[in-house]
Amino acid sequence: MTSPVRAGAILLDIEGTTTPIAFVTEVLFPYARTHVREHLEHRASRPPYAEIITALRAEHRLEQQSADPPPAWDDAAGSWLDAPVRYVEWLMDRDRKSTPLKSLQGRIWEEGYRRGEIIGEVFEDVPRALAAWQRQGVPVSIFSSGSVLAQQLLFRHSSAGDLSGFISGHFDTTVGPKVAADSYRRIAAAVGTPPESILFVSDVTRELDAARAAGLQACLAVRPGNSPPPPGHGYRESRSFDDLIQ
């Protein structure tokens, strides 16, 4: 077993780190796609959905000149829902880290969790590590491209029970992209911990590169279902959070 990491705070990715990638790609994403139209049908004129659709429309305009433009946004053709639903599906097909998309997905999943149709999946070592870090006084935060709401729902309705009490902070792409060093600097300032005292764990080396550029410690999550680690990546690897408990 590798030696534990000394850190004053922990920052965790979700997909491929606390949670199997398959749960996101085979459960959450298909659920959102299946329910997006019916979810919007009775809510789109109410806050915050009107704001989400406005943000999607603005984002769509910026995409028009890209090499892979989205389908046309035509309010006059068919149902008024057709345009936003087509664009949302286009974004999901490309796994785009769109903030309004992630906000909408989180609200769709909230309904699924409430109905008991979704249960958040975490690796078996995650509850044990969260409890250990809490006993040691090491705060744990989450940084994921999924919205803060989606993060909170997953841990509140997890397969191991309600884990939300072990997590002190949640960050999403409203602080910036996960591959930008400034995002990690903002998170460090928000949690009130020097960057060099924060350990960030993710399965994506580009995210680890950004965190390290901001001065954070970085560790590569090597979990079942993840892509093989790139050769020579230079990061400590963790196959279980048990390796990281101080």
Cβ–Cβ contacts within 10 Å for residue 227, how many? 11
Residue 48, preceding peptide bond in cis (omega within 30° of 0): yes
Q: Are 10 and 199 in contact (CB under 8 A)?
A: yes
Nearest residue to 200 via CA among 190, 210, 208: 208
**Per-residue model confidence (pLDDT) at position 199:** 98
**Per-residue model confidence (pLDDT) at position 3:** 57
**What is the pTM for the complete model shown?**
0.90
Domain positions in the chain are: 9-19+120-244, 25-115
> Could you tell me the fold of the domain covering 9-19+120-244?
Rossmann fold (3.40.50)
Cβ–Cβ contacts within 10 Å for residue 116, how many? 8
Structure-block tokens of residue 190 = 């928000």
**Per-residue model confidence (pLDDT) at position 79:** 77
**Per-residue model confidence (pLDDT) at position 77:** 62
Provide the 3-class DSSP secondary structure of residue 54: helix
pLDDT band at 1 (very low <50, low <70, confident <90, very high): very low
**Per-residue model confidence (pLDDT) at position 84:** 92
Average pLDDT, the chain: 94
Q: Quick one: which H or E segment has residue 31? A: helix 29-41
In angstroms, the Cα distances linking 176 to 41, 91, 149 are: 30, 18, 17
CA 188, CA 31: separation in Å to the nearest integer? 33
pLDDT band at 105 (very low <50, low <70, confident <90, very high): very high
pLDDT at 2 over 80: no
CA 130 to chain centre: 18
pLDDT at 191 over 90: yes
Higher pLDDT, residue 53 or 5: 53
Each residue's pLDDT tens digit, 147-183: 999 999 999 999 999 999 999 999 999 999 999 999 9
pLDDT band at 62 (very low <50, low <70, confident <90, very high): very high
**Per-residue model confidence (pLDDT) at position 45:** 75
CATH code of the domain made up of 25-115: 1.10.720
